[in-house]
Structure formats: C-alpha cells, structure tokens
Chain A
Amino acid sequence: KAGVTQTPRYLIKTRGQQVTLSCSPISGHRSVSWYQQTPGQGLQFLFEYFSETQRNKGNFPGRFSGRQFSNSRSEMNVSTLELGDSALYLCASSLDKGNEKLFFGSGTQLSVL
C-alpha cells in the first residue's frame, strides 16, 4: 500500500502570495488532517476532513483553508502569506477517526521570504 503522499516537497514564496498544498491519503482512508510543525512548537492542528466535510478546525486565521475531494484527496490553501507561515505542513490520513492511528506524509516545507 502506498503511504500518504504530499506535494510539493518544498516551496519558496514571498509575502503576500498564496500557496496550495496537496495530500493524497492511503487508499481506503477517508479522514485527512493537516498540521503545522514549527521548531519548539510541536504540531498544531489546522483542520480535519471526512467525506468532503470539515469536522474540526484549529485556531488559525481565515487565510488558512482546505477542502477534500470525493476521492479523499485534500488540499490546503494559505492566502496572503506572512513570514510567520514558514513551517513544515504535515498531512495525516486515518480510516475514519481524525485522531486515531494517524499516518503522516513527509510534509511540505514552506519558506516565506
């Protein structure tokens, strides 16, 4: 079984731009979650999707948004990028519960200049 795939692996953007990150979950997994990882901060929850519905959202500004498609693939979008958005964005998939037995992707490393 293929693991969780995230693209692109690296991104360099400038302030004010927007970015779209993609995540393909493990086949059969219907829940996809997104986390932001920064040094010393651990993993901060962004949002979770199941069957194209957002079931929970973290404490991030409205510039962060996401969606899930009928094939369970998910995208997240960050608009009007700020320097503080520089981080590793991790996607995780699970069978149905957004909190149990998460399988993480390798992440997208976003640098905002």
Chain B
Amino acid sequence: GENVEQHPSTLSVQEGDSAVIKCTYSDSASNYFPWYKQELGKRPQLIIDIRSNVGEKKDQRIAVTLNKTAKHFSLHITETQPEDSAVYFCAASDSNDYKLSFGAGTTVTVRA
C-alpha cells in the first residue's frame, strides 16, 4: 500500500518568513495530493490540493509543488502569520482507492 513520509515533524518560523514542508510517497499510481490544516482542538480542513498532471498550484500565500519522477511534493507558505500556526498533514491517493494515506503531520509554530 501507499506510504507517505512527511518532514519535518516540527517547524518554528519567525512571522513573515516562509515555511516549507516536504512529503514523499511510495505508490507510483497515486495521482491526487491534498494538504490539510488542523488547528489545535479543531477538525482537519483542506487547504490546497494538486493532481499528478499539474506541477505547481498556488492559492494566495500557499503553494504546492509536485515532482512525480522523484515522488515528492511540498507545501510552501509565504509571509507566515500567527494564524498559520497549526498541524499540517500531507496525503496521497489513487483515484480508484477511495481513501487517503496521510503523513504523520508537521507542527508549525509562527513566532511573533
């Protein structure tokens, strides 16, 4: 089955700096890669997703890049703000699988 590894497990950044989280996946059949954000005590929420036929996608201050050959994808947050402090989960999926395989999560702390 699919195995998703996520690094780093914790990340502390100064407000205004950028944050980068990297994930690798094992199953070459995976073609859908979402990112979820979970604030403390809250439910996970989808923040951005990318399909395997796209190399990069942006939404305001967040962007995701995908390298299919190397089987890795990354989340980039620019101009970080205190409200970006949360746990971020990457995930991978094959469209025919009806499930997501999640990474272990990255706890991001934005220092004021």
Contacts and interface: CB of A to CB of B under 8 A. Distances in A.
Contacts, number: 69
Contacts of B1: 59
A106 to B, nearest CB: 5
Given A41-B104, A99-B32, A31 B43 contact: no
Contacts of A89: none
A41 to B, nearest CB: 6
Contact of B105 (A42, A103, A107): A42
Given A41-B104, A42-B104, A43-B89, A98 B43 contact: no
Interface string A85-113: 00000100000011111111111000000
**Most B CB within 10 A of own CB, among A4, A45, A106:** A45
B104 A99 contact: no
Interface in A22-46: 31, 33, 35, 40-45
Contacts of B97: 56, 98-99
B12 interface: no
A63 interface: no
A40 to B, nearest CB: 6
Interface of A: 4, 31, 33, 35, 40-45, 48, 50, 55-56, 58-59, 90, 97-107
28 contacts: A33-B99, A33-B100, A40-B9, A40-B104, A41-B104, A42-B6, A42-B102, A42-B105, A43-B89, A43-B100, A44-B102, A50-B98, A55-B98, A56-B97, A56-B98, A56-B99, A98-B97, A99-B98, A99-B100, A100-B32, A100-B49, A100-B93, A101-B49, A102-B36, A102-B100, A103-B46, A104-B44, A104-B45
Interface of B: 1, 6, 9, 32, 34, 36, 42-46, 49, 89, 91, 93-95, 97-105
